[in-house]
Amino acid sequence: MKKIFFIIALLFIWPASFGCFIMFLTDGHHILVGNHEDWYARDAEITFIPANGKKMGMLYFDFASEKTAQGGMNTAGLFFDGTRTPNAPYPGNDTKKNCHCYIWTKILEDCKNVEEAVQYLQTYQVPELEDIHIMFADRQGHSAIVGVYNSELQVHLRKGNYQLLTNFNPSNPSYGGEPFCTRYAAADSMLHRDSAASVENIQKIFTKTNQEDLTIYSNIYDLSAGEVYIYSLYSRKDFTNKIKMNLASELKKGRHNILLTSLFKPTKPITKK
């Protein structure tokens, strides 16, 4: 999920390809979320924050130069991440309460499941919802996409055993003149043929949905196990080179950050933008 004030400038750099990709998969036993983070920064990191009182522990991905959570998971098994979508005015947002917080980490601190997370967005002001859609998923196997259309907050509950989110408005894919999303179509076609909730299946889909140098990192969350797989930043063709981290184990080390570039050896120089 991106800082909104950068979007206009970046549209001039990557007018047709800007955006991220998120997919949820479950077979009733395994609960997985795959994500491509597409952005301009090259200092991606993973941050671990232990529980504190009633606040749950969490991990989230951000950029060292920005320090704002882009997506993450908490110790209850709740996940969030988001993608840019065409601007949709949300006038009712102004009548809601101001949480005086960074809402996404606040949700990870306080919420245990999708229902509670959605309730937060229905209660508090979230100005960025005019420009993004958010996917929530939880350890119980629920998922939902939340965003704005026709001036109202829309909640899209999953139908079937998978859910996808890219850069068009799910309420109206043609809204805002958004072009046909080939990444969404590729993933949807592959999942129609094989919707196995496995790391290997998501890896296959990753090879058809990444945007090469624009994809800064890719990861898979195993919400049942409280684990995250992080994929090499240096190869957009090989999605077998990965590192697995366990949230509970990492939180025992206290609060800490890990630059993703430190996890993998480069096979070629990183392209600078």
Task: Give residue 273's pLDDT.
Answer: 40
Instruction: Give the dihedral of Cα atoms 202, 235, 258, 141; nearest 10 deg.
Output: -10
What is the per-residue pLDDT for 64?
Answer: 93
pLDDT the model gives residue 110 = 98
Percent share of the chain, pLDDT over 90:
80
SS3 sequence of the chain: CCCHHHHHHHHHHCCCCCCCEEEEEECCCCEEEEEEEECCCCCEEEEEECCECCECCEEEEEECCCCCCCEEEECCCCEEEEEECCCCCCHHHHHCECCCCCHHHHHHHHCCCHHHHHHHHHHECCHHHHCEEEEEECCCCCEEEEEEECCEEEEEECCCCEEEECCCECCECCHHHCCCCHHHHHHHHHHHHCCCCCHHHHHHHHHHHCCHHHEEEEEEEECCCCEEEEECCCCCCCCCCEEEEEHHHHHCCCCEEEEHHHCCCCCCCCCCC
Average pLDDT over all residues of the chain: 90
Question: Which pTM does this prediction carry?
Answer: 0.90
Which whole number is the average pLDDT over 244-252?
A: 98
What CA–CA distances, in Å, run from 39 to 51, 99, 214?
A: 29, 27, 6
Length in residues, the chain: 273
So what's the pLDDT on residue 10? 36
Q: 């958010």: which residue's tokens?
A: 134
Whether residue 7 is predicted with pLDDT greater than 60 in this model: the reply is: no
Mean pLDDT in residue range 55-65: 96
Query: Given a cut of 90, is residue 267 above it in pLDDT?
Result: no
Confidence label for 213 from pLDDT (cuts 50, 70 and 90):
confident
Query: What tokens does 266 get?
Result: 């480069």
Q: Is the pLDDT of residue 6 over 90?
A: no
Looking at the predicted structure, is the pLDDT value of residue 265 above 80?
no
Predicted confidence (pLDDT) at residue 252 exceeds the cutoff of 50? yes
Tokens 């229902």 belong to 115
pLDDT-derived band at 268 (thresholds 50, 70, 90) equals: low
Taking a C-beta distance cutoff of 8 angstroms, is the pair 30, 222 a contact?
A: yes
Strand partners, 244: 229
| 17 pLDDT more than 60 | no
pLDDT tens, 159-201?
A: 999 999 999 999 999 999 989 999 999 999 999 999 999 999 9
Per-residue pLDDT at 272 exceeds 70? no
Tens digit of pLDDT for each residue in 73-106? 999 999 999 999 999 999 999 999 999 999 999 9
Does the pLDDT value for residue 3 go beyond 60? no
Confidence at 59, pLDDT banded by 50, 70, 90: very high
Tell me what the mean pLDDT of segment 119-137 comes to.
96
pLDDT level of residue 42 (50, 70, 90 thresholds): confident
Q: Decide if pLDDT at 126 tops 60.
A: yes
